[in-house]
């Protein structure tokens, strides 16, 4: 384990500092300590976010897109074992277990057998863990990191597995699957019995001495065009502060959920605003990685939604009735209201980011992360 290597390195360097025959540069000591610490992992998933969606951040944002801050970029192939056009369940499960699986599967392999997720594996190695989503925290993407069920719609089963998942920081929606259950059980009481700091009303202050759960909407939170505000950025800020204060390695998944929903609705404004919200949150995380270089950030999507393209924008001439191109504007167009089979971009920053270049299966993201954590 790298933790034991760290102890040995520190002891040796400290002895050198006290030896009358040697003078060790203190900056070198600090650098040695940092390089041998376990690597933090932040996985950001823009649900339904392909290259066209990302492109909107370059046309509909007054500020420079944070996506421009990446140098290491690759693509993954998103198909599932059952369908060429995947869904969020199979896509996120491929990230979490390192294997492709069938459409609608949550944390199980193609034979419906439960598989240990990366979150569960890292918990065993002493990592703190966190999940942030704009949808119900039992929804397909976040659920794929802690639950094991045959079908994504088994929300009440998934909610019960969240309780036993011992995740340190939770933020999202889905209250009805915890306190309005068909079995009559009140899982919120069970969270309190496990000494969680629980808030079902707002994203309030974090209690650093406890696990924290902010489950603040009956189902999903509102979209940006419905007035959500800056929940994704604020939850991410609070989680990063919480994990940093704990001074332990952490794994965190952050989902920008409604880029996908904008594609299904064929709503260009919704896609644009959700991508901008994700981009703003990405800026917070990139700032953190630059200050904490022993952190790996991976940004990707489970699939693309809408068959989106960014193209010429036209207005109708009032006198002639003809379409006229507006040179300094673009439009967002949809080919479908469903998922597509596009290659999906992967952006990486921080420790081991170079491992994410190239074109590979979506399940390889798990293995690339583990390669970094195991010292390459």
**Beta partners for residue 200, in sequence order:** none
pTM of the model: 0.91
84-119 per-position pLDDT tens digit? 999 999 999 999 999 999 999 999 999 999 999 999
Tell me, letter by letter, the H, E, C secondary structure of 211-248: EEEEECCCCCCCCHHHCCCCHHHHHHHHHHHHHHHHCC
Tell me the two tokens of residue 329.
């504007």
**Beta partners for residue 286, in sequence order:** none
Lowest mean pLDDT among 18-22, 36-40, 94-98, 152-156: 18-22
Do residues 36 and 6 make contact, with C-beta atoms less than 8 angstroms apart?
Answer: yes
Contacts of 224 (CB under 8 A, 6+ apart): 258, 270, 273, 274, 276, 277
Kindly state the average pLDDT of the residues 260-269: 98
Secondary structure class of 173 (helix, strand, coil): strand
CB atoms within 10 A of CB 58: 15
**Beta partners for residue 324, in sequence order:** 315
Lowest mean pLDDT among 27-31, 128-132, 272-276, 292-296: 27-31
238-250 per-position pLDDT tens digit? 999 999 999 899 9
């Amino acid at each position: 384990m790298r933790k034991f290597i760290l102890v040995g390195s520190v002891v040796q360097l400290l002895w050198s500092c006290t030896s009358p025959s040697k003078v060790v540069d203190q900056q070198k000591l600090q650098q040695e300590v940092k390089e041998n610490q376990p690597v933090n992992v932040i996985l950001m998933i823009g649900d339904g976010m392909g290259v066209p969606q990302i492109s909107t951040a370059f046309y509909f944002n007054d500020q420079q897109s944070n996506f421009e801050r990446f140098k290491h970029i690759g693509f993954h192939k998103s198909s599932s074992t059952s369908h060429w056009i995947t869904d969020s369940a199979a896509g996120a499960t491929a990230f979490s277990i390192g294997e492709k699986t069938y459409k609608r599967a949550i944390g199980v392999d193609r034979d419906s057998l439960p598989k240990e997720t990366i979150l569960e594996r890292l918990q065993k190695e002493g990592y703190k863990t966190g999940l942030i989503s704009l949808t119900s925290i039992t929804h397909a993407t976040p659920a794929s990191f802690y639950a094991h069920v045959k079908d994504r719609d088994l929300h009440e089963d998934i909610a019960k597995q969240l309780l036993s998942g011992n995740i340190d920081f939770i933020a999202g929606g889905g209250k009805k699957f915890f306190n309005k259950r068909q079995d009559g059980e009140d899982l919120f009481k069970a969270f309190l019995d496990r000494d969680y700091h629980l808030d079902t009303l707002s994203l309030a202050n974090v209690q650093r001495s406890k696990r924290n759960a902010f489950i603040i909407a009956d189902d999903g939170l509102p979209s940006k065009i419905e007035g959500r505000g800056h929940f994704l950025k604020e939850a991410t800020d609070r989680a990063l502060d919480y994990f940093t204060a704990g001074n332990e390695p952490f794994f965190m998944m952050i989902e920008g959920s409604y880029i996908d929903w904008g594609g299904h609705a064929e709503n260009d404004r919704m896609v644009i605003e959700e991508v901008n919200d994700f981009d703003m949150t990405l800026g917070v995380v990139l700032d953190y990685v630059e200050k904490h270089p022993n952190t790996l950030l991976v940004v990707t999507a489970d699939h693309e939604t809408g068959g989106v393209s960014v193209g010429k924008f036209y207005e109708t001439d009032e006198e002639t009735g003809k379409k006229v191109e507006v040179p300094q504007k673009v439009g967002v167009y949809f080919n479908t209201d469903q998922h597509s089979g596009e290659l999906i971009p992967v952006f990486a920053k921080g420790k081991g980011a170079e491992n994410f270049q190239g074109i590979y299966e979506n399940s390889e993201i798990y293995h690339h992360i583990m390669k970094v954590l195991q010292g390459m």
